[in-house]
Chain A
Amino acid sequence: MLVIVCYDVNTETSQGRRRLRRVAKICESTGQRVQKSVFECQVNLMQLDELERRLLREIDANDDCLRLYRMADTRGCEVRDYGRFKATDFVGPLVV
């Protein structure tokens, strides 16, 4: 299942900047960064739960916002992408 994770973390304070770094780190460990605060994660239900729990532990509900979108499985047509960034398909052949 493809999950899109977006966040806005208030960076006016140093705690905010710390939260931003930590949130980004968690997202990086589960998916790939496709825009500055947008991540695509290929996960199963259990991993999604885990990801959500870890993120909720970091963010501040008063200052920040976090959105998780679960994409319906449409067999590789979930995303249409244009422009410079080329995402990696973690399910396809991984050859360097």
Chain B
Amino acid sequence: MQLLNTLYVTQSASYLRLENDTLCVEIEHRVRLRVPLHHLASVVCFGHVSLSAPLMHRLADEGIALVLLDDHGRFKARLEGATSGNVLLRQAHHRRVDDAVFTLETARTCVAGKIKNARQVLLRGAREAKSTTDAAALARGADDLAAALRGLPQAADLEALRGFEGVAARQYFAVLNLIVRSDLRAHFPLDCRTRRPPRDRFNALLSFVYAMWMNDCRSAVEAAGLDPQIGFLHAVRPGRAALALDLQEEFRPLADRLVLTLINRGQVNPEAFVFREGGAVMLQDDARKAVVVAFQERKQETMTHPLLAQPIPLGVIPLVQARLLARAIRGESDGYMPFVMR
């Protein structure tokens, strides 16, 4: 499977149009970039980017997803061509949701994948910690997550499972901040997760990177021919891509790790944030671009997939996972196996 690229347009003065078989990005009537369409899997536009109608038609024809996000990376809309995929798979998917055992087991593996990956983040933080107290606290956090993992099989229904997940998330975010370089900790405090809006720099970064992963997970689910709105862990709600959210869970710790890297390497400065009235914190243009570039580069890195036992670019893993999920839904495998990093 080839990892096709995603074009991110972050400048709102841009105009995208079709020229020959290439996508042409113009800023103030000057051509900034020409990309042949065969390189692209999706086009993601931030803010008020304009597009020509012929381009939109062509993107739909080629099966290239067009995603519109607002200035802060929040999802607005998505243009996708005619529904392809397999109707039998979608039917199986719809039936599976009524199967309480399958739903609970799939939800359980999603949560387990997330907690396992989160634990790896803490363990690695503990290994690399500069001070022994930090290392000890992080190791304690990892132990808490291990305990949460052991508790998961006892969850008898979805409510109980979500409860376990919430407790584990709180324990995780309570210590995550210790992985931030000690001289930057004052600028990037993190006590708990806040969203809509994020209320500190750390949360602003997390929300932004989660939004990117969410787009990729949604594309992956759609590419596998599943219905993105029908999830197992996440309840069905109008307009919510519940299955994409399910799939995203195991990738959240990977997003957290990217955010930590960005902060610790100084790729995002404390000055790169805007504090709005009412306490919302937003990323500024340049920082947003830096995050997108880092995210794209991270997706090129290869990781060994534990199930397929071969190196795969990180950006392709959601696609692989979506297919594993499809196999589980059709009953071709014993159940879904989340991606667990080492």
Residues of A participating in the B interface, judged by any CB pair closer than 8 Å: 25, 28-32, 41-44, 47, 88, 90-96
With known contacts A28-B22, A96-B27, A47–B38 Cβ distance under 8 A: yes
Residues in B with CB closer than 8 Å to A42 are 39
Judged by a CB distance under 8 angstroms, whether B36 is at the interface is: yes
Q: In the complex, which residue of chain B has the Cβ closest to the Cβ of A31?
A: B36
Residues of A contacting B235 in the complex (Cβ-Cβ under 8 angstroms)? none
The answer to whether B33 and A96 touch across the interface, beta carbons within 8 angstroms, is yes
Contact A96 B8 (CB under 8 A): yes
Q: How far is the CB of A39 from chain B (nearest CB, A)?
A: 10
- The chain B residue sitting closest to A91, CB to CB, is B5
Given contacts A43-B38, A88-B35, A96-B32, contact A28 B293 (CB under 8 A): no
Contact B297 A29 (CB under 8 A): no
- Chain A minimum-CB-distance residue to B3: A91
Residue contact B296 to A32, C-beta cutoff 8 Å: no
Chain B positions within 8 Å of A30 at CB level = 21, 36, 38
CB within 8 A of B35: which of A41, A90, A93?
A90
| A96 and B34 contacting across the interface, CB-CB below 8 Å | no
Within 8 A of A (CB), among B20-67: 20-22, 25, 27, 32-36, 38-39
Once A32-B34, A43-B38, A47-B38 are accepted as A-B contacts, the answer to whether A95 and B5 lie under 8 Å apart by CB is no
Interface pick from B9-17, B156-164, B216-224, B252-260: B9-17
With A42-B39, A43-B38, A47-B38 as given contacts, are A93 and B33 in contact (CB-CB < 8 Å)? no
B30 to chain A, nearest CB (A): 12
CA distance A47 to B21 in the complex (A): 13
B273-328 at interface with A (beta carbon < 8 Å)? 289, 292-293, 296-297, 300
Chain A contacts for B32, CB-based, 8 A: 96
CB distance from B161 to the nearest CB of A (A): 37
- B244: min CB distance to chain A, Å: 23
Q: A88-B35, A90-B35 are in contact. Are A96 and B20 (CB under 8 A)?
A: no
Min C-beta distance of A23 to chain B, whole Å: 12
Q: How far is the CA of A12 from the CA of B274 in the complex (A)?
A: 60
Distance between A51 CB and nearest chain B CB, rounded to angstroms: 10
**Number of B interface residues in the complex (CB < 8 A):** 28
**Chain A residues whose CB sits within 8 angstroms of the CB of B38 once the complex forms:** 30, 43, 47
Contacts of A93 in B (CB 8 A): 8, 292-293, 296-297
Q: Does B192 contact A (CB under 8 A)?
A: no
Q: How far is the CA of A51 from the CA of B7 in the complex (A)?
A: 23
In the docked arrangement, what's the CA distance between A92 and B292, Å? 12
How far apart are the CA atoms of A95 and B11 in the complex, in Å?
A: 9
Bound complex: CA A28 to CA B27 (Å): 20
Q: Which residue of A lies closest to B22 (CB)?
A: A29
Q: How far is the CA of A7 from the CA of B35 in the complex (A)?
A: 21
Chain A: CB-nearest residue to B49: A96
Q: Is the CB of B6 within 8 A of A29?
A: no
B293 CB contacts on chain A under 8 angstroms? 93, 95
Contacts of A43 in B (CB 8 A): 38
Give CA–CA (A43, B35) in the complex, Å.
13
Q: Which residues of A are found within 8 Å of B6, using beta-carbon distances?
A: 94
Q: 6 pairs across A/B with beta carbons < 8 Å?
A: A25-B20, A28-B20, A88-B35, A93-B293, A94-B7, A95-B296
* Known A42-B39, A90-B35; contact A96-B10, beta-carbon cutoff 8 A: yes
A29 touches B5 (CB 8 A): no
Knowing A30-B38, A42-B39, A43-B38, say if A94 contacts B33 (CB, 8 Å).
Answer: yes
Pairwise interchain contact B39-A96, C-beta atoms closer than 8 A: no
B22 close to A94 (CB less than 8 A) = no
> Are B14 and A96 in contact (CB-based, < 8 A)?
yes
| B20 to A, closest residue via Cβ | A29
Query: How far, in whole Å, are A15 and B131 apart by their CA atoms in the complex?
Result: 75
